[in-house]
Amino acid sequence: MTVKELIRRLKLCDQSASMIFYYLKDANLNNCEYETLLDFDEGGENEDQGRVELTIKLQDSNENGNQQANK
């Protein structure tokens, strides 16, 4: 998926709605939350473009000392 495609799909949604993240493992949905968004200049599938990484973590977890969960 490209960033452009994700933005296009998100624009179809209610912009004020809350977003919930899940990951699927062994036919079970696990509730997650946003952790970080990183934009890299290189290393994508195509040498001419970079990549963006969206990291999620388990809901209300304190992964790697992330204090965002405590705010």
pLDDT value at residue 60? 87
Between 64 and 70, the more confident residue is 64
- The owner of tokens 């809350």 is 18
Q: How far is CA 63 from CA 13, 33, 44, 66, in A?
A: 29, 11, 26, 6
| Tokens encoding 16 | 């004020």
pLDDT value at residue 69? 45
Between 59 and 67, the more confident residue is 59
The mean pLDDT value for 30-53 works out to 81
Q: What is the mean pLDDT of the chain?
A: 84
Is the backbone of residue 48 left (phi > 0), alpha (psi -120 to 50) or beta? alpha
- How sure is the predictor about 31, in pLDDT bands with cuts at 50, 70 and 90? very high
pTM value? 0.63
Amino acid at 8: R
Instruction: Please list the alpha-helical segments (H only) found in the chain.
Output: 3-11
